[in-house]
Structure 1
């Protein structure tokens, strides 16, 4: 009886990995590689909407929420999705006031949307806030 259950688990893991790979393949997330790139995406105006995701490779909650962020980037084409590695851009992270990961900063018309921005791996909050930004 253990054999079929083990087989099912392996198949389930393969399906899960495949769906994550597919989700990542459609991702529109831009990698922020400099302070200037962060400033540009955060200050672009005239109808622009953007989200910056502060993350780290060693952060377990970031690994959990990352595929959801990728999925949302494929769904909401009117929003610019960006990702910033806090270890690679430590000065930028400090200037932005980010103290924990993951952190999501929302921008509309070059203005920081504090009411939508948050820290944590709350999938429901992420989905709701992306939808709210999209509807603004």
Structure 2
């Protein structure tokens, strides 16, 4: 697995080229978001667990660059979006550990 930490819109565009035609999980978070902070340990564990099979992109919303968050219609954080070949498969908004774990179990393989 590869986790691409994208910090700006330009950074996201460059790194997302690696995921063209593949299934990927996109994680949108806020840098000072209590819910994002609470789910981060589980997210990190899931990234390690599925390190051989998943492609993950992270992106901080609500910074100076907003085009990526807008393009994915992110209205709240944390938001997890699963894409496959450029099409959205599913999304989950919130920090419910069980839901995030289910998303990885189903789509990170």
Same fold (TM over 0.5): yes
Report the counterpart of residue 48 of structure 2 in structure 1: 74
The yes-or-no answer on 1:58 pairing with 2:32 is yes
Q: 1:107 to 1:37 in 2, by over 3 A?
A: farther
Partner of 1:44: 20
Give secondary structure in 2 for the equivalent of 1:29: strand
* Residue 104 (structure 1) aligns with: 80
Normalising by structure 2, we get a TM-score of 0.81
Alignment counterpart, residue 129 of structure 1, candidates 103, 106, 109: 103
Shift, 1:41, TM fit: 5.6
Q: Is the 8 A contact 2:26 2:58 kept in 1?
A: yes
Higher-strand-fraction structure: 2
Q: CA deviation at 1:42?
A: 8.9
The answer to whether residue 89 in structure 2 is matched with residue 94 in structure 1 is no
Shift of 1:75: 0.8
Aligned-pair CA distance for 1:92: 1.4
Mark the runs of 5 or more structure 2 residues left unpaired by the alignment.
Answer: none
So what's the TM-score if we normalise by structure 1?
0.67
CA 42–112 in structure 1, closer or farther in 2 if over 3 Å, else same: farther
Q: Displaced runs of 4+ in structure 1, greater than 2 A?
A: 33-43, 108-111
Asked which structure has the greater CA Rg, the reply is 1
Contact 1:42 1:110 in 2 (8 A): no
